[in-house]
Amino acid sequence: MQSFALTVKCKSTRGIVAAISAFLATNGCNITDSAQFDDQETGNFFMRISFQSEEGKDLSALSDGFAEVGERFGMQFGFHDESEKMKVVIMVSRFGHCLNDLLYRWRIGALPIEIVAVISNHFEYQKVVVNHDIPFHHIKVTKENKKEAEARQMAIVEETGAELIVLARYMQVLSDEMCKKMSGRIINIHHSFLPSFKGANPYKQAFERGVKLIGATSHYVTADLDEGPIIEQDTVRVSHAQSPADYVSLGRDVESQVLSRAIHAHIHLRVFINGNKTVVFPASPGSYASERMG
């Protein structure tokens, strides 16, 4: 039996949930999981539904049939096959903890994605990537060649059909043009609990301020550095006795976990951009289960 997901965004009004439920029931579909949010400030309505097509209707037929409902409520909607794996390009520099964590989760099926390429401006992780049978692309980035380098990066994204770019501690600022072209499709991990301590050396800033909590933030990339809509965050406690180097070491685990959780939410279509913020629905039952233990 095929499992699909329906995502909906529109202005809030009476009758939306009833119309969606009636359509699915009429078309032989059984809802297995549902989440919704009505934003009182913006007047926006968001919904994600997992369902099974018990009478064999495919995505195309369901989408075509739903068009009238969508038009009636002014919806942005999409029907998705939950068995399809999103194609992802990972970009990394010299810190490899997030990359290695993602490769492990991908390998055991805990992160059901298709990694179509890894791009780096250094060679440190070429061997580990190639040993996973994933194409590795070294693209050096300097002030002088930045435009050409980004053109090569985007060519890889387009040639592979990648739907998402993950910046796994990629320590280069992307151009405004690239951010706009891939809007809502680039996820970054920042080694700070944003909006505090933006920029390249947040652990040093945190140490100088004597904070008692450090954290990590995964967000969508926009043209404004470290200002994109936040998807996931977490923290770890520190004390006066720890050094900036301790902060870096303690932060690695938090960064890896936060990034993987953000990607998990995005690929399962649980994240909706809502102005400068996001709506992130809980994971569906079973979506964290991995294919094997190690």
Burial letters 67-80, b for 16+ CB under 10 A, else e: eebbeebebebebb
Residue 157 class from Cβ within 10 Å (0-12 exposed, 13-18 middle, 19+ buried)? Answer: buried
The two beta strands, 113-120 and 44-53, are: unpaired
CA dist 39 and 7 (Å) reads 16
What is the separation, in whole angstroms, between the first and last Cα of the chain?
28
DSSP for 67-93, please give it.
HHHHHHHT-EEEEEETTSPEEEEEEE-
Q: Are 198 and 192 in contact (CB under 8 A)?
A: yes
CA dist 168 and 260 (Å) reads 10
CA dist 54 and 2 (Å) reads 8
CA dist 66 and 75 (Å) reads 10
Of 33, 38, 226, 253, which is the active-site residue? 226
CA dist 50 and 150 (Å) reads 37
Tell which residue, 281, 285, 286, has the closest CA to residue 269: 281
The half-sphere exposure of 165 on its side-chain side, counting CA atoms within 13 A, is 27
Is 226 marked active-site? yes
Residues involved in catalysis: 226
